[in-house]
Amino acid sequence: MHHKSILARDGRSLTARVAGPPNGFPVVLLHGQMHSSSCWNAVLSGPLARDHRLIAPDLAGHGGSDTPRLADTDWMADDLADVLSALGVTDPVLIGWSFGSAVAAAYASGRATRGLVLVSAGTRAPGAHGLSLAQVRAMLDQAAVACDAIGAEHPPALDLFRAMLSDERAVADDGVARMIDTCANGQLDAATRAERIANGHAISLATRAAIAATPYDYADFYAIYDRPILQIHGDRDVVRPVAAAHERKAIFRHGETEIWTGSGHSPFDAEPARFAERIAAFCAAL
């Protein structure tokens, strides 16, 4: 596994982890919010790297990638285009985990891809660009009140973001730790957990707020996408309820849906060997 530093179109520094043979089948791994490319370390160092060229970028404002003026899905898709151009990669398979699935859809909306793998994905999210930190906090508070008013069991991610956007360092740090634990469903070893929490703590409040407020809706895109889609969702996912996967599978033109028993929001943590095997099979079928 190698670390690459790449200049974005606006001069910012972007980083990516790269593994596997240079002429291998190209697979891009896009992490979720409050994480970094390090969440894919087990995949990058596993059997998938024997025959596939694996590229795991740090999204804008995460890991080693600089924060842009606007950290939304379109901007991050353009960053990904810069990374892949620098590495000479075209027409990859994109694996998007959680928020990374929205970046994958934004990239695939205007560029060539061989297929998509959506892991614990969301189809849409409300929000607005250009909100101040105070406005984002108010938006999250209003969403929580609305959910409580109708008796909805809203995803814990809402409460976690409210904590992570706190001005009180201890509250925000605790929110990050709870986000990491909730995503992994308690299935991380101590060293990996500590690394992910440290990466989350390093993400600025501005980036956290921008991600929380980013609006997207890719239902129409999924309906017209003409390449294969595989979506994987854990039945114990409390960040993105499994109902989201069932809703989305009816939209796909060429899609498969797998619900993994016992997995939480990050199935690749719960069953890394199975995950690598399934991705290899998906790529081979293309």
- The two most distant CA atoms of the chain are separated, in Å, by 55
CATH number at residue 109: 3.40.50.1820
Same domain as 235, residue 116: yes
- Assess whether 252 and 190 both reside in one domain: no
pLDDT at 121: 92
For residue 155, the model assigns a pLDDT of 66
Please indicate, yes or no, whether residues 103 and 204 belong to a single structural domain of this protein: no
Domain end marker among 212, 247, 264:
212
Beta bridge partners of 217: 124
Q: Are 14 and 72 contained in the same domain?
A: yes
Are 70 and 110 in the same domain?
Answer: yes
Number of domains in the chain: 2
What single-letter amino acid sits at 127?
Answer: G
> In this structure, how many other beta carbons lie within 10 angstroms of the beta carbon of residue 274?
15
- Beta-bridge partner residues of 5: 15
Looking at residue 71, its pLDDT comes to 74
CA 72/CA 106 separation, integer angstroms: 10
The dihedral built from the CA positions of residue 38, 259, 280 and 124, taken in this order, carries a sign that is negative
Per-residue pLDDT of the chain (286 residues; tens, 9 = 90+): 899 999 999 999 999 999 999 999 999 999 999 999 999 999 999 999 999 999 999 999 999 999 887 778 999 999 999 999 999 999 999 999 999 999 999 999 989 999 999 999 977 888 888 888 899 989 888 877 666 555 455 567 788 889 999 999 999 999 999 999 999 988 899 999 999 999 999 999 989 998 888 888 998 999 999 999 999 999 999 888 888 898 888 899 899 999 999 999 999 999 999 999 999 999 999 9
Task: Out of 212, 231, 258, pick the residue that ends a domain.
Answer: 212
User: Do 139 and 185 share a domain, yes or no?
Assistant: yes
Are 6 and 122 found together in one domain?
yes
- Look at residue 152 in the predicted model and tell me its pLDDT: 52
160 and 174 inside one domain: yes
Do 59 and 156 belong together in one domain?
Answer: no
CA 60, 62, 67, 72 torsion-angle sign: positive
- Which of 105, 75, 116, 82 is CA-nearest to residue 14? 82
Verify that 258 and 149 share a domain, yes or no.
no
Residue at a domain's end among 178, 212, 246: 212
Alpha-carbon dihedral angle through residues 177, 179, 181, 184, given to the nearest 10 degrees? -140
pLDDT in tens, 83-106: 999 999 999 999 999 999 999 999
> 192 is in which domain, residue-wise?
133-212
